[in-house]
Structure 1
Amino acid sequence: MLFPNDIESKLGFDKIRERLAVKCKSAMGTELAEKVRFTADIDLIRKFLQQTDDFKKILESDGAFPSNYYLDARPALAKARVEGAFLDERQFRDISLSLTTIDSCVRFLKSHKEEYPSLYELTNGLEVSAALVKSIDAKIDDDPKVRDNASAVLQNVRRNISQKYQQVRKTLESAFKSAAKEGFIPDGASITVRDGRMVIPVSAEYKRRIKGFVHDESSTGQTVFIEPATVLEGNNELRELEYAEKREVIKILTELTDELRANTDSLKRAYRFLGVVDFIQAKARLALELDAVLPAVKEEQTITWKEARHPLLFLAHRNTDKKVVPLNIELNHDQRLLIISGPNAGGKSVCLKTVGLLQLMLQSGLLVPVGEESEFGVFEDIFIDIGDEQSIENDLSTYSSHLSNMKFFIRNAKLKSLCLIDEFGTGTDPQFGGAIAEAVLDDLKRKEANGVITTHYSNIKNYAEEKPGLINGAMKYDMANLEPLYELEMGKPGSSFSLEIARKIGLSHKVIEYAKEAIGSKNIDVDNLLLRLERQKQKVIERDRALKSKEKEVSQLQSKYQRLLEEMETNKKSIISKAKQEAASILKETNREIEKTIRHIKENKAEKKETKRVRERLTQLKGKVEEEKKVIPAVVQKEDGPIGIGDAVRIVGQEVAGEVLSLKGNGAEVQFGDLKSTVKLNRLEKISKGQSKQINKQRSQPNNGLNLNQKFAQFSSTLDVRGRRAEEVFSIVDRFIDDALLFDISEIRILHGKGDGVLRSVIRDYLRKSNLTETITDEHVERGGAGITVVQLK
């Protein structure tokens, strides 16, 4: 049930219906749009909504749904039901075009029944007579006229008409030329037709000079139109042929009408289908215009709306590029009645009307402009009390009208009712009006009615704060600029900001102070408390916004740092690898130079001058080797176990070693020489004290050169790595290959043992990836077999 009778105009639903009707293509669709009504049948609501949503998807996907010739043939069908009646050519042409459209709609929906099942259901039991359409098209052309070949009789009559017309025309033209030669014809005149007969125009003074029948004269009387006697018989025959044509056309149309009459029932269903399709497409187009969606529809009385927008306000603001502040609202079993308070012109009434209009639209089968995650309940009643209802005829004041509405609410409201009351209790003495409003509210609460109520009365706000099933809501207000934000905040009452608004518009301080005293300290304190809470909340919101901005900035910097770190690690590995290759090449070159030098000295029998020159060259090579050596980091052996206080550690990837002074969470305080620093544990690796001293010694003392003789004397071409862990073998093998290359040894052996073959597989996989190895094979069976890997270096 809806109350009052003009609820649609009060909520603006009449304007929604008007927009819907305009989008219909036919009178059939328009009639359905004008009949849109509120229903509480949830199955019917879901059916209507799903149909509209399916058609909206068709429009969004550009599904090429038939859009032309939504013609209303119902008047023609009604005429055809009368025995002996016949339809004209235009009516038959419209029926043919519209039946073709209906057939195309049916074909489309049947071919997309999986995608749009709710629309496909409309085609059940629907048949379009292809034979009827074929018969109409065979006898009616596009002009529309009955075709010449619609019957043999008609074809013969029309052929005779054409021939007779040419004869009469030829005779008349001869008479016209003779009269013109005699000067009987006015200047610029020509052969014409009067009363369906061909005549010639003659000047009035010469009308008796030409034998024939006068059919008409001009408005001035200076010209008469004469049918010459020579064509009188021919015109009579032509007229008889035209009558024969008309009789044959009526006969053909009557036969077509009889054929159509036999299909009247199926045709009525077909045009009812076309009207429904037209109506649904209009609802879908309206939904696209409003940016409306299909929300979840539940049987219980609930409202959980996200981003809800008043449709008419949305359309009005869109034309001016303004944005509508969306409404977020929730009513459920625990909070059935929402009491909204706040300043005048702050959006309370718009909020209330949005609830009423959207609920009315949904229960009328229309999609609604809300967020897709919104949920709608179904109400059996929608009652509203909005606006000035002063009635001169019934001698009712505004307040009396409000009380009459409240009486209706109290008598009829129940669990499944939605009550919307604007400016609750106003129109009379505030003390009594507030008390009566509170009593009405208490009655609605007892009946578990649902609703939204706007008010300025403090006692109503207090009642909502204390009683279960009710919740306060406030329209937010910009305290800095004293301007409404039109945003609903649930869970707290709002202030009317009366004194603040009075200050803003410029009322004197004296007047405002007087008002404060008249209001009383208690009410002032409550209002001030609300003001302070609002200011504090806005400050918290601003701080939260600033904090989120900082967090975003920190996150971006962290991402940038991580990216740079990854790039640095990648570049470091590349530089080290390149440096090793270059150093190996230089060492190999140096070894060759040494051998060449020794051979040269021997060949020159150690002449002092030549020896001095060679030594200078070796000194240059030594310097080059020393420079390259500086870029190759030392291989450090990690120690097992967790890092503890007093342990020697090194920063991963760097030649920096120190001692752990203390542990703090996931970090450690480390002494690096004279510097103390806190470093995360995952960036440290544990090493021996001796290695720590060696690293620090290398960092603090200059390198004294490369003793090739001593290193060559200590070098062995077989490396024993048995008992080593896989992760520490790689650096040992790298150093071993570097030394072999330094001394120009092309074949080396790595003793790893057989065991379970894990260490062998790891080493060989690693060697295969190196660009310094030529071949990798097992040792001879008698000398160790698979327990030793023989490597040929490039």
Structure 2
Amino acid sequence: MDSITKRKLEFDRIIAYASSFCISDMGRDELAGTLPFYDHTKLEEELKRVLELRLFLEEGNPLPFSALPDTRALLRELDTADTYFEPRELLDIHDLLRASVQLRKCMFQNRTVYPSLNDLTIQLWLEKSLQYEIMRVVDEQAQVRDTASDGLFTLRRELNESRETLRKKMTRLLKRCQERGWLMEDTVAMKNGRLVLGLKVEYKYKLPGFIQDYSHTGQTVFIEPAETLELSNRIQDLEINERREVERILRETTGRIREERKNVQHNQTLMAVFDSLYGRAQVALDTGSVLPEVGKGKTLRILDGFHPWLVVSHRRKKEKVFPLDMELSGNEQVLVISGPNAGGKSVAMKTAGLLCCMLAHGFLVPCSESSVFPLFEKMFIEIGDEQSIENDLSTFSSHLEQIRLILDAATEKSLVLIDELCSGTDVEEGSAIARSVIEELLAKDAKVIVTTHLGELKAYAHGRDGVVNGAMEFDRSSLSPSFRFVKGLPGNSFAFAMMQRMGFSQEVVDRAESYLDKGRTGLDTMLDDLRISLEHNVQLKDSLEREKEDLASEKARLGKKVEELESREREMKIKTRREMVHEIEQAKKAIRDILRDVRKQPVEAVVSAARNKLENRKKAALSEEKKLAAEFEHSLRPDLSIRKGDTVRVLTTNTTGEVVSLQGEEAIVQCGTFRLSTALKNLEKISKTKAKKLERALPPVSASPLESTKLDLRGLQGDEAVGEVERFVDKLRLNRVQQATIVHGKGTGALRQRVTQCLKQHPAVKSFRLGDWSEGGVGVTIIEL
């Protein structure tokens, strides 16, 4: 995409806007050099990073670094072998590395929330020894530390001592000269790098020393006292040695950076990339931009789209921005937009182009997340007055020249935008040229959006496959554009309405309308009627969609009620059975207690009575269970007494209504404003004054746990073993186990006979048999429930 196209789309302003948020010149230059993505996978990775960084900022998180120095020129200087960095430059390298470490650490700690950003920053070089080395040598004020080397420490100590001795001597000499009246200035001065005293010229030979300078008036002579000469020379020598030691230290530290140059440059590049992402994320925050779908087909669907600059400028002015809804399906190649002047045709076209351009360059876009954008490899735009005086081209000639260049370069992966196609010449000739241009672009399979006022071009778009009309609406009541795009119909120019709004007299307007062809007037009226009809159909469609959603919601609710009733049925059965089992268990416990008491007594009558009592209670419990189950099933049978006109309660929805018709065991019930079909068993006849409330669901009851499907009776005596068998069978039944094994051993066969007798009398046992040789033979019995 060339710079002219970017300028016409105002993408260069988007880049400049994003650059204003960048922290460093490196990030700004990275943004300026951004190229469009042509690979879907790479583009989606870039967009995910921008989205994650936008979310990071939305949550109020600050960046983990506040400054990012531009180190590119410094690293280029390392190409020269004897180059060394000054302390300030060393600090810049240090700050770059520190920012890299802080960023990598921050994103790694939040890697589950921002995985794409972590994938980028995890590549940053994390070695800290170079940072420590720089800070060992240079302090925060960009001064070489005294402790940078032992030699420097010694030199600076001697320097400080010598300077203090010199200061004391100069102070003593100054005081002596003051007492004798020789001084012109009562301070110690510095001339040619040496400490001097300013004496009156007539006393210049009173103080032994060396003349360093005279004042401009010649009245003051600056003398370096002879007795400080040797000390001053000593200090100068120490200063030279200090500079040499500092330079040596700086060269050595720069050498360390030179050794790690590739790693430092790697971090420099990644930090510039991150800074460019930061600029784009800030633009996304400021314009409410999101990540739409990047389609692999040719469908362009913009929902609730906004031009970014309109969002920013209108927010500042507190003005309303109108969203753009525009769609071109895969087989719709050309969109012809018509409508009133200043009605938003060009803005709609440019908005579509700019959003496509932004997305291709890794920007989020202000639209709905449901929008779909194809990935264009080339984009062309012809808009505005590009008249060339230098090349002696008129406006129309320049327009044609730009179109020729577009036709030569356009491909099936191109987006072409042309404003007021061929409008600068004779209407009939312009329409013919416009049709020919569109046909050529259709042949190249390019995606095209054009704006026009040409009536013949609108008619052509209506009848040509692959070409579709679109209009910008105009509000006749207010004589102003509504800025809403409507697909499927051409738009009117509404020139006469514009005249009225701009204050022309009605006489002039009426005269202009009288000159217009009557058929054209009728066509405009028909288009208005069609547009109103289309808008009514759209509203009707929206209403039907809402009703459809309401019905789906009601269907889901009813389904949930049915599930609740079925669950309630199961819970009632389980509860009934649990209560009976509980009673049986209590009875068994009582019998076991009796058996334990009388086991040592030869009282067979007591044992027999206890067993008979147990059997009777068990049979009664089972009979009660069957009775309750039958009653419950009966309650779910259809109520055949229900007739047309009866007031009923729908059990599955707990709503009341009137039966309007009967169809076998089904009924149609009028419930308020809607009807539903349901089974008669789901209905209950009620009075017309009061409806019963739905029964609450019973709490779930857990089944007794079953440790194993094998019961080992070996070592137990007859009655005790029988009790264990009965309890074991009950647990099997409650846990819905169909088959199990009872181990009684071979022995004399007495225990086996007691088990057989018990199983024959137990109503829950369907059949039983001795085990085969692989199951344990005659020592086990296999039962089926």
Calculate the TM-score normalised by the size of structure 1. 0.67
CA deviation vs aligned residue, 1:224-256 (integer Å, no higher than 9, x gap):
432222211111111111111111111111221
**Structure 2 counterpart of 1:68, one-letter code:** S
The structure-2 alpha-carbon separation of the partners of 1:477 and 1:273, relative to structure 1 and needing over 3 Å to count, comes to: same
**Structure 2 counterpart of 1:360, one-letter code:** C
Q: Partner residue of 1:685?
A: 686
CA–CA distance in structure 2, aligned partners of residues 363 and 545 of structure 1: 33
CA contact (8 A) 1:30 1:279 kept: yes
Matched, 1:138 2:141: no
CA contact (8 A) 1:302 1:378 kept: no
CA deviation vs aligned residue, 1:296-323 (integer Å, no higher than 9, x gap):
1122222111111101111111111112
CA–CA distance in structure 2, aligned partners of residues 51 and 215 of structure 1: 67
CA–CA distance in structure 2, aligned partners of residues 254 and 686 of structure 1: 102
Matched, 1:295 2:292: yes
Q: Partner residue of 2:100?
A: 102
Q: Partner residue of 1:495?
A: 492
Q: How many residues align?
A: 579
Q: 2:85 aligns with which of 84, 87, 93?
A: 87
Q: Partner residue of 2:188?
A: 191
Q: Partner residue of 2:364?
A: 367
CA contact (8 A) 2:108 2:122 kept: no
CA–CA distance in structure 2, aligned partners of residues 245 and 507 of structure 1: 87
The structure-2 alpha-carbon separation of the partners of 1:222 and 1:477, relative to structure 1 and needing over 3 Å to count, comes to: farther
CA–CA distance in structure 2, aligned partners of residues 339 and 454 of structure 1: 6
CA–CA distance in structure 1, aligned partners of residues 199 and 645 of structure 2: 136
Q: Partner residue of 2:425?
A: 428
CA contact (8 A) 1:297 1:375 kept: yes
**Aligned with 2:408: secondary structure?**
helix
CA–CA distance in structure 1, aligned partners of residues 381 and 659 of structure 2: 76
CA contact (8 A) 2:65 2:102 kept: no
How much is the aligned-residue C-alpha RMSD, in angstroms?
Answer: 3.4
CA contact (8 A) 2:139 2:145 kept: yes
Q: Partner residue of 1:394?
A: 391
The unaligned stretches of length 5 or more in structure 1 are 550-639, 652-659, 669-681, 693-726, 728-794
Q: 2:233 aligns with which of 223, 236, 256?
A: 236
Q: Partner residue of 1:453?
A: 450
CA contact (8 A) 2:489 2:531 kept: no
Shift of 1:352: 0.8
Identify which range, 253-262 or 10-19, moves more after superposition. Answer: 253-262
Q: Partner residue of 2:19?
A: 21
The structure-2 alpha-carbon separation of the partners of 1:299 and 1:206, relative to structure 1 and needing over 3 Å to count, comes to: farther
Q: Partner residue of 1:180?
A: 178
Structure showing greater radius of gyration is 1
Q: 1:227 aligns with which of 220, 224, 228?
A: 224
Shift of 1:206: 3.6
**Aligned with 1:477: secondary structure?**
strand
Identify which range, 537-546 or 108-117, moves more after superposition. Answer: 537-546
CA–CA distance in structure 2, aligned partners of residues 305 and 662 of structure 1: 48
CA deviation vs aligned residue, 1:113-167 (integer Å, no higher than 9, x gap):
3333332333465424322222221122222222112222111111111111111
**Aligned with 1:99: secondary structure?**
helix
CA contact (8 A) 2:302 2:352 kept: no
CA–CA distance in structure 1, aligned partners of residues 240 and 152 of structure 2: 11
Q: 1:507 aligns with which of 488, 504, 509?
A: 504
Q: Partner residue of 2:765?
A: none
CA contact (8 A) 1:87 1:253 kept: yes
**Structure 1 counterpart of 2:225, one-letter code:** P
Matched, 1:269 2:266: yes
CA contact (8 A) 2:660 2:669 kept: no
**Structure 1 counterpart of 2:414, one-letter code:** S
Q: Partner residue of 1:150?
A: 148
Q: Partner residue of 1:164?
A: 162
Identify which range, 266-275 or 477-486, moves more after superposition. Answer: 266-275
CA contact (8 A) 1:24 1:30 kept: yes
Shift of 1:6: 0.8
Shift of 1:334: 2.7
CA contact (8 A) 1:643 1:686 kept: no
**Aligned with 1:261: secondary structure?**
helix
Matched, 1:304 2:309: no
**Aligned with 2:380: secondary structure?**
strand
Q: How does 1:563-602 map to 2 (within 5 A)?
A: none
Shift of 1:376: 1.0
CA contact (8 A) 1:479 1:535 kept: no
CA–CA distance in structure 1, aligned partners of residues 74 and 122 of structure 2: 25
CA contact (8 A) 1:338 1:451 kept: yes
**Aligned with 1:390: secondary structure?**
coil
Identify which range, 324-333 or 82-91, moves more after superposition. Answer: 82-91
Q: 2:526 aligns with which of 529, 539, 556?
A: 529
What is the percent sequence identity of the aligned residues?
34
CA contact (8 A) 1:295 1:376 kept: yes
CA contact (8 A) 1:342 1:495 kept: yes
Q: Partner residue of 1:59?
A: 57
Matched, 1:441 2:438: yes
Calculate the TM-score normalised by the size of structure 2. 0.68
CA–CA distance in structure 2, aligned partners of residues 642 and 456 of structure 1: 73
The structure-2 alpha-carbon separation of the partners of 1:548 and 1:650, relative to structure 1 and needing over 3 Å to count, comes to: closer
**Structure 1 counterpart of 2:474, one-letter code:** Y
The structure-2 alpha-carbon separation of the partners of 1:536 and 1:222, relative to structure 1 and needing over 3 Å to count, comes to: farther
The unaligned stretches of length 5 or more in structure 2 are 547-638, 650-657, 663-667, 672-682, 690-694, 696-785
Q: Partner residue of 1:481?
A: 478
Q: Partner residue of 2:771?
A: none
Shift of 1:10: 0.9
CA–CA distance in structure 2, aligned partners of residues 313 and 205 of structure 1: 80
CA contact (8 A) 2:383 2:419 kept: yes
Shift of 1:213: 2.2
CA deviation vs aligned residue, 1:410-434 (integer Å, no higher than 9, x gap):
3333322211111112111112111
Q: Partner residue of 2:310?
A: 313
Q: 2:414 aligns with which of 400, 414, 417?
A: 417
**Structure 1 counterpart of 2:116, one-letter code:** S
CA–CA distance in structure 1, aligned partners of residues 543 and 108 of structure 2: 56
The structure-2 alpha-carbon separation of the partners of 1:89 and 1:176, relative to structure 1 and needing over 3 Å to count, comes to: same
CA contact (8 A) 2:659 2:669 kept: no
CA–CA distance in structure 2, aligned partners of residues 400 and 256 of structure 1: 64
Q: How does 1:382-781 map to 2 (within 5 A)?
A: 382-534=379-531, 642=641, 644=643, 685=686
Matched, 1:286 2:283: yes
Q: How does 1:350-361 map to 2 (within 5 A)?
A: 350-361=347-358
CA–CA distance in structure 2, aligned partners of residues 686 and 116 of structure 1: 62
The structure-2 alpha-carbon separation of the partners of 1:220 and 1:287, relative to structure 1 and needing over 3 Å to count, comes to: farther
